[in-house]
Chains A and B, each alone.
Chain A
């Protein structure tokens, strides 16, 4: 029973991290129609920027996280505005552009920081005991920030002019433009929002998991998994799927070991893609 609950704690913590990643990824797909292969790259940049601020500049960790968010959002904004925007309607081309960016980013980080893992740990340690189970403080903090960020994103998208405009542009770009919405202003903003979320996740999660130039690949794979499971472009679906993926991973690693859980999830995702590309929640999606 204790093991069962402990696994649930791990699963929910993972789920919150995956949700942050997946929301950014699905936002970009849902609004711009771009599959962002560089998502893992922004996650890594977030991690390395936070690491550099703390380890090299001696800044306090919370400030480092904020700087990481700002840096990744700024890079995302520039990349969208100057490169992606030129080819925004060509889905294969934008995909290749993000792939190219990812290669440059991961290789750049490799050159600057070397191939080894960084000594980067979360500034808070210890656990809180709830009856028989222990919850690491760092996981609680990350969970809290993740849930707040998800709430904030939801508020932006569904309670502001900006969010409404982004969703309108995703639905029908031409008509949205005729209402006075300017994609050249709003699309970079949406991209920056999403890459900022990836940077936030990187800054928060790499001290707990690991920080090395290779961590972008599994992040991308997990984002794919979550986003497809939740239905490409669906925010609610992605959040729900993130917790499912987190919990499945936690339980399968506790009870079965190895990668059975991942195999089951990927197979499920393959079948979903083929037979029900709208994902779990079955929301309307944009055409590819």
Chain B
């Protein structure tokens, strides 16, 4: 149970938010330290997972479980892929576009689907990602249909083509940092609003909180973050393909968030890194990872509600003992 926030003093950043940003910053150093293909692969996948999981996490802050992340990722990823056809590759422009296109689509969509709560919201987001998948196949002129769009040109940053493995990874770090900053800014600024909605939406509304406004804002930003994750994914693969945005991958991001811990922004970050690493460590092409996610989800839901972060926090408090 979350507590209603009665913050005695407002800090600029809580310790976990500061840690989250610090982790995102530290990531920039890793590509400079090693050339290991394994590290590069794990880190790049994890960075994409971090962004997508933060998108899921923002919705969970409002007690909404979303399966629509792949749909918004596709919007962001395909925006970049299609722009690439016209040789538009500027990093700043494309980052903005990958965020704004899904965010703008989310505005009217949010007006529709945010009327639903609980189970019904889950179902509608599941349906959304199915529709996006079908749309990709049905629009071959725009999206290349089942072939997707291959051979996307590399990003250009200040006139430099970010073409080497190291450059691609550094760029992924950059996107992840931006996404983390956005997620922290949103959830910190509206912390009490989100907490009130998570605790009891109907009560908050009757107490005068304009709930739909914050839910819409959260939905739009979550869509934008998913778009950034899509951008990062497309940039890593240099291909936009429908299978990259299959509705089944929504489950991965939900797993990262729930297992990492839904009560802090460190949850999606730690969850993504840990599970992506485990996926690589566990076997070839991670085909056995799903079962691991399944087991961990059961464990978290049944015995460790706070996920990795929540459980660690609990243990830490217990070790320090009760303090006056």
Q: Which residues of A contact B (CB under 8 A)?
A: 29, 33, 35, 83, 86-87, 91-93, 95-97, 99-108, 110-111, 115, 217, 221, 224-225, 228, 232, 258-260, 262-263, 266-267, 269-270, 273-274, 277, 288
Contact = CB atoms under 8 A, between A and B. Distances in A.
B117 interface: yes
Contact of B117 (A33, A102, A110, A288): A288
A213 B80 CA distance: 33
B278 interface: no
Given A111-B291, A273-B124, A263 B258 contact: no
B36 interface: no
A107 B297 CA distance: 14
B42 interface: no
A228 B295 contact: no
B302 A108 contact: no
Interface in B281-300: 287-288, 290-298
A172 to B, nearest CB: 19
Contact of A259 (B138, B255, B288): B138
B297 A217 contact: no
Contact of A288 (B118, B127, B131, B254): B118
20 contacts: A35-B122, A35-B123, A91-B118, A92-B65, A99-B294, A102-B294, A103-B251, A103-B291, A103-B293, A104-B291, A107-B288, A110-B287, A110-B290, A224-B123, A225-B127, A270-B131, A273-B116, A273-B120, A274-B116, A288-B120
Given A96-B258, A266-B127, 16 more contacts: A83-B302, A91-B118, A92-B122, A96-B301, A100-B294, A107-B294, A108-B291, A110-B291, A111-B291, A217-B247, A259-B134, A262-B134, A270-B127, A273-B124, A274-B116, A288-B120
- Interface of A (DSSP majority class): helix
B198 to A, nearest CB: 11
Contacts of B301: 87, 93, 96-97, 100
A10 B258 CA distance: 42
B24 to A, nearest CB: 27
Contacts of A83: 298, 302
Nearest to A82: B302
Nearest to A35: B119
Indicate the member of A93, A99, A224 with the most B CB atoms within 10 Å. Answer: A99
Interface string B233-266: 0000000000000011001001100100000000
A199 B168 CA distance: 47
A269 B295 contact: no
Given A86-B302, A99-B251, A274-B115, A104 B295 contact: yes
Contact of B126 (A100, A106, A108, A224): A224
Contacts of B248: 217
B112 interface: yes
B291 A266 contact: no
Given A99-B297, A273-B123, A288-B120, A259 B137 contact: yes
A252 to B, nearest CB: 12
A261 B291 CA distance: 33
Nearest to A96: B301
Contacts of A104: 291, 294-295, 298
Contacts of A86: 302
Contacts of A100: 293-298, 301
Contacts of B251: 99, 103
Nearest to A214: B248
A110 B284 CA distance: 13
A52 to B, nearest CB: 19
Contacts of B290: 103, 106-107, 110
B135 interface: yes
> What are the nearest 6 A-B pairs in CB distance?
A103-B294, A107-B291, A100-B297, A104-B294, A288-B118, A288-B119
A277 B120 contact: yes
A232 B123 CA distance: 11
A97 B65 contact: no
A102 to B, nearest CB: 7
B156 interface: no
B260 to A, nearest CB: 14
A224 B131 contact: no
B138 A258 contact: yes
Given A103-B251, A277-B120, A266 B130 contact: yes
Given A107-B291, A259-B134, A263-B135, A97 B298 contact: yes
A288 B295 CA distance: 26
A118 B118 CA distance: 38
